[in-house]
Homo-oligomer: A and B are copies of this chain.
């Protein structure tokens, strides 16, 4: 990309909203979160069974959700247990609520 103006300055609040929103910006990730919420937690393998997409793709989506802070992974060898990060979830809720009100 030709970014002649690199380092555009944004309000922190705008960045926070954008980061959460971007993570929610794919239907698969939305449905992963719905599933996670309904099960309270789950393993990658569960998702591979539920969604008709490759294991590596699911792993990638999980990574993005994790990077955005919406989920956390807990080591339960040999599996990894993913749960919604309730603290950030609440933060996102407040941000969207405030923004969209």
**A28 CB contacts on chain B under 8 angstroms:** 8, 10
On whether the beta carbons of B89 and A93 are closer than 8 Å, the reply is no
Interface flag for A45 (CB, 8 Å):
no
Report, as a range, how many residues of chain A touch the other chain. Answer: 20 to 34
On whether the beta carbons of B18 and A30 are closer than 8 Å, the reply is yes
Find A24's partner among B17, B53, B89 (CB 8 Å cutoff).
Answer: B17
**A30 CB contacts on chain B under 8 angstroms:** 10, 14, 17-18, 21, 99
**A34 CB contacts on chain B under 8 angstroms:** 11, 14, 99
**A14 CB contacts on chain B under 8 angstroms:** 27, 30-31, 34
Bound CA span A27–B99, Å: 13
7 smallest beta-carbon distances between A and B, as pairs = A22-B25, A21-B24, A93-B100, A10-B27, A14-B30, A21-B25, A18-B27
